[in-house]
Amino acid sequence: RSAEGAARVEREGKALSEASVKLLPVLFKFVGDTHAAASSSEKGPSREMMDGEEKELVSRNDSGRQAESFQKLHCVTEAISSLARLAPKDFVAKHIKKLMHRLLDEIQSDSSDNERICALLILAQALIASEVLDEASVSFLFRALKPLIRNDEHGPRVQKRSYKLLAEIC
């Protein structure tokens, strides 16, 4: 009976590993899209032509949608962290390298997009939380964070995200 149970656990583990390989790229894309949507709704529409009551109503609706978007984002990053633990190590290593290269490209770009940098930092934080990254990847990510923390060239949101990622690394 224990051999049968062990075989079942092994099959289920393999199935979860295969599912994580299919789900993680979709969730990565979802984080980028959701973060962009939540951040753009934060800026909100021009309210110059509205009266006080309309402004308050729109403000409450916008903040509710934004809170909902960030709640979804938090749930998805937790799912990424959990699925990364189940995914094959080489698959996760390949994706963290892609992520770090995209992050470095975005940071060094003359026309860098702060929202994209924030989304990449959120993904990196989810992968750090999964505790599956090797020491070299964590070290490389730490080196990439240093310039984001040391100056506010990319704005306060990027700097705040960088500090959150640094806290997760620590």
123 contacts 140 by C-beta, under 8 angstroms:
no
Q: Please tell me the distance from the alpha carbon of residue 21 to that of residue 119, in angstroms, as a whole number.
A: 20
Residue 104, CB-side half-sphere exposure with 13 Å CA sphere: 11
Kindly state the tokens that stand for 69. 């978007």
Rg (CA), the chain: 19
Chain segment 2-50, per-residue pLDDT in tens: 778 788 888 888 888 899 899 999 999 888 877 766 665 544 443 444 4
Helix/strand/coil for 57: helix
Query: How does pLDDT run along the chain (170 residues), one tens digit per residue?
Result: 677 878 888 888 888 889 989 999 999 988 887 776 666 554 444 344 445 554 454 455 556 666 777 788 888 889 999 999 999 988 988 888 898 899 889 888 877 788 888 999 999 999 999 998 889 888 988 888 888 888 878 888 889 999 999 999 98
